[in-house]
Amino acid sequence: MILGARAFTKTGAEGANCAALPERGFGIAVKADDGGGRAAQAMIAALILRFGGFDEALMARLAPFLAPRLRNWRGVEVGALRPAGPLVDDARLHA
């Protein structure tokens, strides 16, 4: 992701994604049960938003990852992903 030294992310195989928040002193790991990376990436973005303590400018950089639009082969939007659950229950995600 594009947050500079404030957060580091790494995608892995089979829907695994990790992030480190050095200023907070912790890391996050997410594994999508279906092995797809899209859902894990959205969840990592939501958790970074929740725990990162970022200002509005850095949070705006997370926006494209929080609810990616799904398009078919013709480019028509057919849906979207959005993180859910108590760890990401944040009003900024539902705007």
- As a whole number of angstroms, the distance between CA 94 and CA 2 comes to 22
Name the one residue in this structure whose structure tokens are 């892995």. 12
> What whole-number percentage of the chain has pLDDT above 70?
88
Mean pLDDT of the region 68-78: 94
pTM of the complete model: 0.78
Closest by CA position to 65, among listed 33, 26, 34, 93: 93
DSSP 75: S
pLDDT tens by residue, 22-43: 988 989 999 988 888 888 888 8
Closest by CA position to 51, among listed 13, 3, 10: 3
